[in-house]
Amino acid sequence: MSLRRGALWLLPGLILAAAAVLARPGASYAYQDRETVLAGSSLQHPAGTDDLGRDRLVRVSGALLISLTGSLVAAAITTAAAAGVGTLAAFGPAVVGWSAMLVCDVFLALPWMFLLMMVRAAMPLTTSPAHSASITFLVLAALGWPACARAVYRGAVAQRTSGWMLHARSTGLRRAQVIHHILPNLLPLLIPQFLVSIPAFVIAEANLGALGLGISEPLPSWGGMLFELNNSAMLLETRWVYFPLALLIVVLLALEGAAAEA
C-alpha cells in the first residue's frame, strides 16, 4: 500500500524534475554537440550524450513529458469516446447497440499491436515530428476505445435495469431525461479505465517507436531512445544507453501503482 502511495508522489516529482531539466538555459533536445559524441556522465551532461552528441538527460526529460502528455490526452479521448458509445449502445435503439458492439468486436478481433502498426503505417511517414507525435497518440486514442466501450456498455446496461432507473421511468421521466444521471453513475467505471489506459498507451508508443513507426526524430520519444539499444557498438562505449529504459520502467511502475491506488 505504501509503495503505491509512494508512486503517487513519485510521478509529480519526475514530471517536475523533467520540466526543470528542460527549463535549464541552453537545454535543447535537438542540439548536437559533435565534439562530445557518446560521452559518459559529466557535469555538463549528467547522463552522457547519444551518437549525435545530444544530451541524453534532456532527451529523456522531453520523452517523459511528451509521452505522458500524449498518453493523457489519448486516454481522455478514449474514455470520452467509450463513454459516448457505451451509453448510446445501452440506451439507444437495439440496432444501434448491436452495431456499436459489432464494431467493438471488429476492433477487438485484431491484436492491438498489429492494429496500431497497420494504422500507423497507413499514415504519412514524411510528416513533421510534431505531426508524427500527434498522429501516433491520435491513432492510440482511436484504437483504444473498444475494450473500454464494452465495459461501459455493461455498466450502462446494469444502470438501465437498476432500481432507481426503473423508478424514474415509472414516474414518467423519458429516456433522454434520465440519461444525464447515467454519466455520474458510470464515473467509478470510467476513472479506472482512464487510469489504466495511460500506461498502456505509454508502452504502445514505446513499442511502435522501437519498430520505427512512432514519433519521428529529432523529437525525443521512449521508442526512439530504445532504438539506441540496437547499436551494440554504442553499448560498449557507454552504459548510459540503458538509462531511458530504466526510467521508462520506473515511470510505468509508478503509473501502474497510481492507477491501482486510485
Partner 1 sequence: MATAGRWLAQTIAVVLLVMVGTTTLLRFAPGYFSDAREMDARYAAVTRAELSAEAARSHSLTQMLGTEIGGWIHGNSGVSRQFGVPVWELIQPRLAVSGALLLRGIALAWTLALFASILSSAGRRPSLLWQVPAAILLAVPAAALATLCLLINSGGPVLVLALLLAARDFKFLHRALHKAWLDPHVLHARAQGVRTRHLLRAHIVPALLPQLGALASLSIVTALSALVPIEVIFNVPGIGELAWNAALNRDLPVLLAVTMILALAVVCSGVGSHRTAAWREA
Q: Which residues of the chain form contacts with partner 1 (CB under 8 A)? A: 102-103, 105-106, 108-114, 117-119, 121-124, 199, 203, 206-207, 210-211, 222-223, 226, 229-230, 232, 235, 245, 248-249, 252-253, 256
Counted residue by residue, the chain has a size of: 262
Residue located via cell numbers 464494452: 150
Q: For residue 76, which phi and psi values (nearest 5 degrees)?
A: -65, -45
Nearer to partner 1, 77 or 200 (CB): 200
Report cis status (omega within 30 of 0) of the bond before 93: no
Residue located via cell numbers 435503439: 93
**Minimal distance in Å, beta carbon 155 to partner 1?**
18
Q: For residue 49, which phi and psi values (nearest 5 degrees)?
A: -130, 165
**Minimal distance in Å, beta carbon 78 to partner 1?**
17
DSSP 127: S
**Minimal distance in Å, beta carbon 58 to partner 1?**
21
Nearer to partner 1, 20 or 118 (CB): 118
- Cα–Cα dist 40/243, whole Å: 12
Give just the sign of the alpha carbon dihedral 253, 259, 260, 262. positive
Residue located via cell numbers 492507477: 259
**Minimal distance in Å, beta carbon 44 to partner 1?**
28
Nearer to partner 1, 17 or 113 (CB): 113
Alpha carbon 26 to its chain centroid, in Å, reads: 29
Helix axes 56-91, 129-160, angle to 10 degrees: 30
Nearer to partner 1, 19 or 106 (CB): 106
Nearer to partner 1, 62 or 223 (CB): 223
Helix axes 2-23, 56-91, angle to 10 degrees: 120
**Minimal distance in Å, beta carbon 257 to partner 1?**
9
Nearer to partner 1, 17 or 236 (CB): 236
Nearer to partner 1, 75 or 165 (CB): 75
**Minimal distance in Å, beta carbon 113 to partner 1?**
4
- Cα–Cα dist 237/233, whole Å: 7
**Minimal distance in Å, beta carbon 108 to partner 1?**
7
Q: Find, among 66, 52, 24, 45, the residue nearest to 220 by Cα.
A: 66
